[in-house]
Structure formats: structure tokens, C-alpha cells
Chain A
């Protein structure tokens, strides 16, 4: 319980996207019968690399966090869930087993590549031997998770922070960041920057600092995608000044999500880029819930029509109606995230919509800036 108290005082929140307070999640599992800890390193977000880099370069830090979290909630079992290439992580697990210091067993499991597979309920279902598809809640994983056991699912980066809190204390953790957004975060910086990659930033710095860390911008930027494909576009002038805290990003109409910060060059077409991603998101629907299965392709098609031939009022109205229609109507948040992404594209690229409508579409055939798993040379 001492560690959970320290995590609470530190103010650690989840780094997987939802930003839920970590201590509260731990308390929900602590004291229940035979709990399990799941390390969610199955980064589904195509533009994000932070968990993959972390697992490759600092596997023991994440595993330390997982073992400490397991100990704190009374779990004897840790499952590490990741996508392809568990070799470096498996090596680390073998090293720990040889050292014989951990009071828990650690198992590494490879998770399917689908976008929704790393969603918490889908992950728990997969680890219970079923297909990796989201489930209807309740029950939530902390009530009934892997094989019916109470399950603490934590993002890999969150557990790395937890390990550092255990080692250095909550005051140390709070020595960077702001009082309401303490600590640091890993961000994946991409797009028009000198050195795309994963960087650690303190909460509260201006977003511009992420691009400075990546060697600066390579060309004029029109917009920044904040959070990932469940995130939101912000116009460059807003984005570069906004402070990296949950509250400031919310006020600006975004959220840090999985920590993606992608600078869209002025020479790219935000509509075409967004339409490509929207179509991919539609294709990634698990196909379980009608409003998502049917709604997301309809939304992607509306956006395609708008970005091709312009802002016809009928299509625009229909699209805005559909964006409201799908929200909150899936078992998971896939439709909500997609709707938020598309809505932010309509707002941020309003001038492009108007220009396309007047018969002046953006010059085509630039290589897409937003990466998708089907692209040649992805990752």
C-alpha cells in the first residue's frame, strides 16, 4: 500500500491514452482475489513509437514497474503484451528469471496487429484465449479480467514512471512538470522535423519544445496532429504555443493521447491526409457494433467527397450529423476517436475545404505525411 500511496501523491496518470489516475486503478484491484498485472506495450497507434522504443531500450525499467505494481496489488503474475518482436523483452525476462529476484512470474505474449487489439477489454479478452475484440462493459478488467481474475492493465510507459517513483519518491517525480500535471512524458515527434523520434519532455512545456528537441522544423508548418489518430488537429499557431498539460490541451480542443506530435508541412494537404487516415480507421473497426461498422466507412466516404470535389452543403451537413451519430455508440471508443479526428480536420482545414470547393484543390501526389501500417517501409 505504501507504493500506491506514493503513486497517488506523485499524481501519476496513465500514458496509454486515457490518462486515468494510476493509483485509483491499482486500488480497484488491490485486495481482490488472485489479481493479474498486464503490461500493455501493444502500441496500436501507427504514428506512435514510444512504447516500442521503451521496451527495446529500457525493458528492465518497465518490468521493474510491473513487478512493483504486482507486489503492491498482491498479484503473483505479470503478462507483457506486445506486438511483433518480443525478443529483447524475452531476453530481459530470461535475465530476471536467471537472477531469481522477482517474486512473480512474467510471461510475454504477442498480440495481433489490429488497431483495436490493444484496447483494454480486447487485450484482456485475447489473453483469456478469445479473439482480440473489445467487449461490452461492465464488467471492467479490474472486476473480471484475464480468465475471470481481477486485472490491472497499465501502459508500459506508465509502469516505467511507477518504477522511478518507487526508486526516487513522489517528491522527485514532482520536481518536473506542473503542480496539476506533474512529471514527464514520452512523445513521438514526427512530420516536418529534423530528427523524428521519441523524446522525453516535462509536462507544462510549450508544445514547440517537442519540435525543438527534434532538431527544429524543416519547413513551414500549417497544423499539428496532437495525440495520434484518436487525437485532434490544431492549427500551427495555436499548437506551437499551447502548454503540454491535459488541461491546456483540453482547452485548445485536443488531448495528449498516446503522445504523438506530428507537424504537418504547409505544402501537404491536410484534407487528403486526414481522409486517408479516416479510411484506414474505418477499416480497423472490429465490425461488432453497427454504428461503427456502418458509420465509419460512411464518414470516411463523406470526407473523401469533400476533399475531392469540395464543400457541398449537403455532404457537409450529412457528415456533421454522422459525426454526432456515431459518438458513444460502440462498445469501445473507436467510433468516438475517429469522429473526433475527422471533426478536428474539418475545423482546422476549413480554408482548404473552401479552396477545394472553388475548384482549387491542393497539388496532389506528395508522399503521405501520416504513416499507416499498409505503407511501404512502415516502421
Chain B
């Protein structure tokens, strides 16, 4: 099972916490909105990814399984 990051762009308000919590996979564009690594989340980063998802103030960051 592969887990990837996804953002709900309508909910995202560019707080930028996700890029602080998971800089390995998330950077911010020139307007402060997240740019996500499209690769699967590696097991070593899963705990950090879950933390970033849980701490998003607008619950815009998601983990999807395919």
C-alpha cells in the first residue's frame, strides 16, 4: 500500500506549518502555498507526515492510500 500527500487547495490557507513539520517533502511556493513531493511517503517519514496532517490548522493536508 502506497501513501502519498495531498492537499485540499480550497481548504488550504497558506499557514505553512506543513513545510515546517515536513520539510523533507513539502516546500512553499512564492505565495506561501505548499508544494508536495509526489513520491510515496517513505516509512521513515510516516510519523512526521501524520504529525503535519494532524497539525494543519485548516485540515487541508491529507494522506491518501492507493
Contacts and interface: CB of A to CB of B under 8 A. Distances in A.
A309 interface: no
Contacts of B33: 290-291, 329
A290 B16 CA distance: 12
Nearest to B60: A136
Contacts of A289: 9-10, 12
A283 interface: no
Interface residues of A, number: 13
B10 A291 contact: no
Contact of A291 (B8, B11, B29): B29
B23 interface: no
B9 A136 contact: yes
Contacts of B29: 291, 325
A290 B8 CA distance: 11
Interface string B1-34: 0000000111111100000000000000111110
State the majority secondary structure of interface residues on B: loop
A294 interface: yes
B14 A290 contact: yes
Nearest to B10: A288
Contacts of B14: 290
Interface of A: 135-136, 288-292, 294-295, 325, 329-331
22 contacts: A136-B8, A136-B10, A136-B11, A288-B9, A288-B10, A289-B10, A290-B12, A290-B13, A290-B14, A290-B31, A290-B32, A290-B33, A291-B9, A291-B31, A292-B9, A294-B31, A295-B31, A325-B29, A325-B30, A329-B9, A331-B8, A331-B10
